[in-house]
């Protein structure tokens, strides 16, 4: 049986690749939507990639790390893992049937689709 996540919203850190494609920007907007909805805190992936000490320490203090990547290249995942972090929940936008392109006139319904999917993954994750 699954249990609801017991983390406080400010203990759930959400990262997105924010890549230069429709799916990268959908990942970015979904992370914003999740933060606005009180699901977690949107955190700076580039600060992790840049090894900014304060951001590294803040990330270590998080209880759940969530990463949203636009596509299978997985830049956000690789950045976090390269810095030694384990990701608790991971979503790729293209896995939800959204095709990657470089048209930034994104379908806004896809933002809600991704955010909803991530939120459901967080809520059903078993907390050990």
- Least distance from ligand SF4 to the Cβ atom of residue 128, Å: 28
Residues in 7-66 at the binding interface with ligand SF4, rule: CB under 6 A: 17, 19, 21, 23-24
DSSP state of 126: P
Q: How far is Cα 101 from Cα 86, in angstroms, rounded to an integer?
A: 29
CB nearer ligand SF4, residue 74 or residue 116: 74
Tokens (6 digits) for 66: 């969530």
State which of residues 40, 43, 69, 122 lies at the interface with ligand SF4 (CB under 6 A): 69
Residues in 73-102 at the binding interface with ligand SF4, rule: CB under 6 A: 73-75
Q: Go through 80-96 and write b for each residue having 16 or more CB atoms within 10 A of its CB, e for each that does not.
A: beeeebebbbbbbbbee
Residues that bind ligand SF4 (CB under 6 A): 17, 19, 21, 23-24, 69-71, 73-75
């Amino acid at each position: 049986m699954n249990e609801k996540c017991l983390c406080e919203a400010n203990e759930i850190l959400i990262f997105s690749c924010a890549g230069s494609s429709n799916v990268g920007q959908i990942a970015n907007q979904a992370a914003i939507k999740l933060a606005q909805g009180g699901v977690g805190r949107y955190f700076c992936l580039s600060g992790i990639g840049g090894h900014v000490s304060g951001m590294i320490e803040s990330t270590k203090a998080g209880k759940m790390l969530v990463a949203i990547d636009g596509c299978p290249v997985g830049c956000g995942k690789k950045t976090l893992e390269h810095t030694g972090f384990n990701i608790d929940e991971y979503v790729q936008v293209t896995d939800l049937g959204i095709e990657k392109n470089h048209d930034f006139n994104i379908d806004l319904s896809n933002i809600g689709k991704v955010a909803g999917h991530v939120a459901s993954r967080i809520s059903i994750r078993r907390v050990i």
